[in-house]
Amino acid sequence: MQTRTLGHSGLEVSAIGLGCMSMSALYGPAADRTEMIALIRKAVDLGVTLFDTAESYGPFTNEALLGEALKPVRQHVVIATKFGFDIDPVTGQRSGRLNSRPEHIRKVVDAALHRLQTDHIDLLYQHRVDPDVPIEDVAGTLRDLISAGKVRHYGLSEAGIQTIRRAHGVHPLTAVQSEYSLWYREPERELLPTLEELGIGFVPFSPLGAGFLTGAITADTAFDPTDFRNRVPRFAPEARVANLALVDLVRAFAARLGATPAQIALSWLLAQKPWIVPIPGTTKLHRLQENLGAVPIALSLVDVDTLSHAAAQIAVVGERLPQAVLELSNR
């Protein structure tokens, strides 16, 4: 497995990480716990060292799953988790409110350390920017947690450019996490240049467009009633019909190179910058192996430019997330 360093932080991780959210939440019922522990450990065997979770996935159950799965190999892996929502610590009930007050962050970190069965969090993200708490207070709290040894590195998720700059001015950010893929390229306008300027790594979530770029989803695909994609405008049946043009493009490109659409979508991301580390999620071993097969595919500059230009000519239909979720982004 090739490795990459997230910005100027010195944090070295596998070129592709594993997003673990779908094992416990949002893509339908939680997967079998025993099977997911086996999958996570297989990912370690295959060279994956970056594992991404959050207190809100479950809530809490995904962190606990990861803690159990990675305990035997804890010193060899990097665990990333997130805080930022108001969740009852006993019942797991979500209030729907954001909460990044310093005292709340400290409590969340202690609880996460317990669930993850570890004495430190390698990379801790603010899940969404809380407009009621100055980002300087958040960054200062994380700086203190780093000094205390409970956290090694910190980052922001779905944060706006000015928020990133302000936080970085208090204590250097290691990574920013936001959506980025062939079907959502907004980060190219301002985010990527800013991260390059500041020496911050980028960890794209949904690098396969929540599964759409794999080619496995059609206009007729029926999602589980609890699957969040039922509420995503980009996955509405009429939007899917239009958006399949992008999948057809990637599929044709993949066929020419003897790869799969998922592998081409991921290799395109890897080719953008050497400090980009995508975190595709899966609950299936064959998909994990397929995704990791993207790492050795070295697209030429001509390939990257050709695919980028062709994809830009296709107008993707529908917002990438429900409106209420979008309103929490880019603050």
Residue 60 zone, left/alpha/beta (φ > 0; ψ -120 to 50; rest): left
Q: How far apart are CA 44 and CA 87, in angstroms?
A: 30
Q: How far apart are CA 112 and CA 267, in angstroms?
A: 33
Among 258, 260, 265, smallest CA distance to 290 is for 260
Per residue of the chain (331 residues), what is the pLDDT tens digit?
Answer: 999 999 999 999 999 999 999 999 899 999 999 999 999 999 999 999 999 999 999 999 999 999 999 999 999 999 999 999 999 998 998 888 999 999 999 999 999 999 999 999 999 999 999 999 999 999 999 999 999 999 999 999 999 999 999 999 999 999 999 999 999 999 999 999 999 999 999 999 999 999 999 999 999 999 999 999 999 999 999 999 999 999 999 999 999 999 999 999 999 999 999 999 999 999 999 999 999 999 999 999 999 999 999 999 999 999 998 888 888 888 9
Q: How far apart are CA 243 and CA 234, in angstroms?
A: 8
Q: How far apart are CA 143 and CA 178, in angstroms?
A: 22
Q: How far apart are CA 240 and CA 245, in angstroms?
A: 9
β-bridge pairing 121-126 and 78-83: parallel
Domain 3-326, second-level architecture: Alpha-Beta Barrel (3.20)
Paired with 313 in beta bridges are: none
CA 305 to chain CA mean position, Å: 25
Q: Is the dihedral of CA 232, 234, 237, 240 positive or negative?
A: negative
Among 183, 240, 249, smallest CA distance to 217 is for 240
Please pick, among 57, 125, 154, 184, the residue that the annotation labels catalytic: 57
β-bridge pairing 175-179 and 121-126: unpaired
In order of 20, 83, 146, 161, 323, the CA distances from 125 in angstroms are 15, 7, 13, 16, 22
Q: Is 154 a catalytic residue?
A: no
Q: Which two tokens stand for residue 159?
A: 């944060």
What is the per-residue pLDDT for 322?
87
What is the per-residue pLDDT for 323?
87
Strand runs (DSSP E) across 76-117, as ranges? 78-83, 85-87, 94-98
Paired with 13 in beta bridges are: 4
> Where are the domains positioned within the chain?
3-326
Burial of 199 (0-12, 13-18, 19+ CB in 10 A): middle
